[in-house]
Structure 1
Amino acid sequence: MTTDPTPPGPAAAHDLPGESTGRSLGRVTVATVIAAASGYVVLLLAARHLGAVGYGVFAVFWAAYGLVTGAQNGQLQETTRSVRTAGAEGVGRSRPLVVNTVIGVGLAIVVAASSPLWAGKVFTDERGLSIALLAVGVASFAVYAHLCGALSGTLNWAAFAVLLSVDALIRLVGAVVAVAAGWDTTAFLVITVIGSVSWCVVLATSSTARRTVGISGDVTSGRLAVNTLTAMAAAAASAVLVMGFPVLINLTTNLRGTPDADDTRIIGALVLAVTLTRAPLLVPLNSFQGVLISRFVDRRDRRVRSLGAPLGVVAAIGGVGVLGAWLVGPWLLRSVFGADFDLAGIVVAMLTAGATCLGLLTVTGAAAIAAGAHRWYAAGWWVATLVAVAMLLLPLDVEARTCAALVVGPVVGLGVHLIGVLRA
């Protein structure tokens, strides 16, 4: 039984059929809704089942895993660009699967070998298990990211949508089982990484995925590796601002001394609110990275004009979200997650504004990498990250500096990206 209707049989890598724009958007949108809804339910189950303290432990590991795998989104992005360009130009000079697998294994080794330097400052419980799960997870995620990029570059959105859905549903099923069985935080640490094995399921059930996984790229393996590592460097900065931001909040707060009980509660509420306010925009945008990069590659002769529609959609959705967050955000947090998660309306609104700025930065980043402006892409994200860290070090309360970091940093980085796109 297969997950898509493409019949098996031999085919050249770039002869794989793509799909129409409307159909592709529909398939990826459905998969994104599934991923977003599953993510919300996992967070809800974790928060209600583990409580504020347990959720804080889980959220930090979730953020650390997202920090590393977020950097690996550079593999997805460069694979998409390379495969799409190779298909358009009719060339094939490398095998991205080999390059991505080597990078993934190397990254796993780096995580494990460097853990004595940082694990004690990040993981408070289950340290050994957390390190092992992180290393295994990032190695597996390298193949997942490659397959996402290969399917995006060949416009095979049916298999791509299945891959996104399976990844999310594996975690959801795991969370439901954990709550039903009464398992503790340890189970949720395992649940965080098990979705990355979804590529095994898709390769076993989809003939299109099996034929696409070994597709060729437009540049030599050495150049592809350099491009991929550059994209990963930028994606690492992106991951710091997106998935790794709770770790930054903890680290910068601890620099001021041990937080008291009230600060600990506020940080836990902020971590949850940051995650929830981002999901409506950033989960779809991350899912649509392949669509965006393919769009910008196909419209490389009119890059600036092609940016207008995606930026407008993100800004409009974000504006509505800011108003809704101000009016009902605090009530929703208290009603759904409990009295411990209490924040002012202006704080929730500013966190949503920060999520919107990150969304805009994600779109301009996709345009920069599609234009081949890898260094400008990396510079934009790292400038945004450094500015955000500077905001977190301001002599303000944790709520104010968190909001400032999430708004100011991305706006500055967005400007860098636009300069890179114009110069390219």
Structure 2
Amino acid sequence: MKHLSLATVFAAVSGLVVVWVAGWALDVETSYRYFLAYWGLFFACTGVIDGITHETTRAVAASRTDGKQGRANPWRLGATLGGVALALVAVCGLFFMGAIVPPDPSAATALLAFGLLSYAFQAVLSGVLSGAGLWSRYAALVALDSGVRLVLALLTLALGGGLREFLLITVIGALSWIAILAAAPVRVTLDVDRATFVRRVVSAMAASGASAALITGFPTAVSAAFPDDPETSLTVAAIANAVMLTRAPVLMPLQRFQSALVVRFVEKRERIYAALAAPIGAVLTLGVVGFAAAWLIGPWILRLAFKPELFVAGLTLGLLTFASAFMGMLMITGVAVLALEKHAFYVAGWVVATLTAFAVLFLAPWGVATAVIVALFAGPIAGALVHLAGLVK
């Protein structure tokens, strides 16, 4: 578990550095905004696929704990999901990618399709390693995924690369599973049959898709809620950049620890509220500390490390950081209901959170910053209440 902790810290830092490098390498009003939208789109899509990670983790861990052995094969389902993702992206990219990455929609579509096909297998391996308790190997997967992006981003900046290179950097980490699996194959059993596994994965994907839209796809939604015009373009880019920066220190490590939390809640299902208290308390405490730090030193960091066009006031940075802790709380309550096999409440919580946040974002008569902040508090609170209702016995 120590290795996983180090790997998640490295992943969080690497993600921040990649975004920072892109901010200097690309034009703020156009290419950088398109990069953030594409980055958010890719990780929102991978978030949907992560449903198979969560259910595979639960099924493998439960099989180890209870001794049940079903006939489900996560690799076969992963291949199917990857093929479906490739086909959907190929078709949808023809119609929508021109609005997301106008300068290079063809390359963006091809890279996204390839990345999601590969990520489907990476998601399966993540679930297998986590459920089997092979934390060192899972940590290696996390570190390699992030490290590849970091190295290529720095090389791209040094060599003067542009938007297409950063599109490639976004998806390239999805190949990491090949190296980890080739180094040492692993065999596990799941506790369910094929039909049950497929049904639960689809349910988990529905919830993880809603969570991905709210977590990683949110910058893309901000761009859609406030269309391009001379008065809002820079503000949208600056707020989207601030959202990415302020949530990374809290949510990126927590996303990597979700599999460990699934195992924790499966093992402590009879004392679920006690098991919830520590991680929720930790993430909210981190949010309070982050609020103060972002308010006090955030503006100084932005002035020092980013272009002037991306500056955001300290109070806004602090509130966005604190909001990320509430998003973390929602992730934890979601993992808890999933571990207890309350799949309907798991899906409902994330759907309610996403609809609430997007309703505020698109319908509230406020400016960009206020709408984003309120949306990022309102959505997670509504969703967490649904999850907690599902834990009542």
TM-score (norm 1): 0.90
**What SS class does the counterpart of residue 343 from structure 1 fall into?**
coil
| Distance in 2 between residues matched to 1:132 and 1:384, nearest whole Å | 31
| Distance in 1 between residues matched to 2:346 and 2:13, nearest whole Å | 30
* One-letter identity of the residue aligned with 2:257: F
CA contact (8 A) 2:250 2:283 kept: yes
Q: Which runs of 5+ in 1 are unaligned?
A: 1-23
Q: Does 1:102 align with 2:67?
A: no
| Distance in 1 between residues matched to 2:211 and 2:248, nearest whole Å | 15
| Distance in 1 between residues matched to 2:270 and 2:373, nearest whole Å | 37
Q: Does 1:194 align with 2:172?
A: yes
1:249 alignment counterpart: 222
Among 328, 338, 346, the alignment partner of 1:369 is 338
Once the two structures are TM-superposed, the CA of residue 58 in structure 1 deviates from its matched residue by 0.9
Among 398, 405, 415, the alignment partner of 2:368 is 398
Once the two structures are TM-superposed, the CA of residue 121 in structure 1 deviates from its matched residue by 3.0
1:280 alignment counterpart: 249
Give the alignment of 1:17-416 within 5 angstroms. Answer: 24=1, 26-53=2-29, 54-93=31-70, 94-205=72-183, 207=184, 210-212=185-187, 215-254=188-227, 258-260=228-230, 262-392=231-361, 393-416=363-386
1:5 alignment counterpart: none
CA contact (8 A) 2:250 2:324 kept: yes
1:3 alignment counterpart: none
| Distance in 1 between residues matched to 2:359 and 2:88, nearest whole Å | 27
Once the two structures are TM-superposed, the CA of residue 259 in structure 1 deviates from its matched residue by 2.3
CA contact (8 A) 1:304 1:422 kept: no
CA contact (8 A) 1:365 1:417 kept: yes
Among 374, 387, 390, the alignment partner of 1:417 is 387
CA contact (8 A) 1:270 1:399 kept: yes
TM-score (norm 2): 0.97
What percentage of aligned pairs have identical amino acids? 37
Once the two structures are TM-superposed, the CA of residue 51 in structure 1 deviates from its matched residue by 3.3
| Distance in 1 between residues matched to 2:214 and 2:337, nearest whole Å | 18
Q: Which runs of 5+ in 2 are unaligned?
A: none
CA contact (8 A) 1:314 1:360 kept: yes
Most deviating of 94-103 and 356-365: 94-103
Most deviating of 404-413 and 46-55: 46-55
RMSD: 1.2
Once the two structures are TM-superposed, the CA of residue 114 in structure 1 deviates from its matched residue by 2.5
1:294-353 CA distance string (max 9 Å, x none): 000011111111100000000100111011111221221122102111212221112112
> How many matched pairs?
390
* One-letter identity of the residue aligned with 1:113: V
1:131-177 CA distance string (max 9 Å, x none): 11111111111110110111100111010000000001111111122
Once the two structures are TM-superposed, the CA of residue 408 in structure 1 deviates from its matched residue by 0.6
| Distance in 2 between residues matched to 1:218 and 1:249, nearest whole Å | 41
Most deviating of 302-311 and 327-336: 327-336
* One-letter identity of the residue aligned with 2:49: Q
CA contact (8 A) 1:334 1:340 kept: no
| Distance in 2 between residues matched to 1:417 and 1:259, nearest whole Å | 39
